[in-house]
């Protein structure tokens, strides 16, 4: 069994959609970034890449490449899962924590779980999505950004 960890953070800005875990969230602010800036899926991508010893998301999807401009991060995760598959690896489980003061995510976490389970090719009962705040501390606590951490385990198929 191989384990990888991923982390991502993006600034909240006006004029962008908010996408987390592959699910659009109703919000007046969205995340700033080259792709759709889905911090959750970006963290999952890095966790899969780390477990498979395949580098990091910036190496595979550089923000200098117009090919990735505004692309859905679900496409990025599909590609990363395929790279791991080429090494004979498949996801076992995923644990994600979203760090955000706003918005409240409530039932959207279940939708995120289902989307990421499908993208990873595993059962939803192998995916856990949690959310927490920073209790008003730092830029995230002031509602200026959102971060996510992910841990994934892979094994040979």
Q: What is the pLDDT of residue 107?
A: 86
Band of the pLDDT at 155, cuts 50, 70, 90?
very high
Q: CB of 30 within 8 A of CB of 146?
A: no
Give the orientation angle of helix 108-120 with respect to helix 39-51, to 10 degrees. Answer: 30
The domains of the chain, with CATH numbers, are: 2-156 (3.30.1330.50)
154: exposed, middle or buried (Cβ count in 10 Å: 0-12, 13-18, 19+): buried
Cα four-point dihedral sign 113, 116, 118, 120: negative
Q: Give 90-147 pLDDT, tens digit per residue.
A: 999 999 999 999 998 988 999 999 999 999 999 999 999 999 999 989 999 999 999 9
């Amino acid at each position: 069994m191989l384990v990888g960890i991923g982390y991502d953070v993006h600034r909240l800005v006006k004029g962008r959609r908010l996408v987390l875990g592959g699910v659009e969230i109703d919000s007046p602010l969205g995340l700033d970034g080259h792709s759709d800036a889905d911090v959750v899926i970006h963290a999952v991508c890095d966790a899969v890449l780390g477990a498979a010893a395949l580098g990091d998301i910036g190496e595979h999807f550089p923000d200098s490449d117009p090919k990735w401009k505004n692309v859905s991060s679900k496409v990025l995760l599909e590609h990363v899962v395929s790279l791991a598959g080429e090494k004979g690896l498949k996801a076992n489980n995923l644990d994600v924590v979203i760090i955000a003061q706003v918005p409240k995510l409530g039932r959207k976490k279940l939708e995120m779980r289902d989307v990421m389970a499908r993208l990873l090719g595993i059962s939803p009962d192998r995916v856990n999505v949690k959310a927490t705040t920073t209790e008003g501390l730092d830029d995230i606590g002031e509602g200026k950004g959102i971060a996510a951490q992910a841990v994934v385990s892979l094994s040979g198929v």
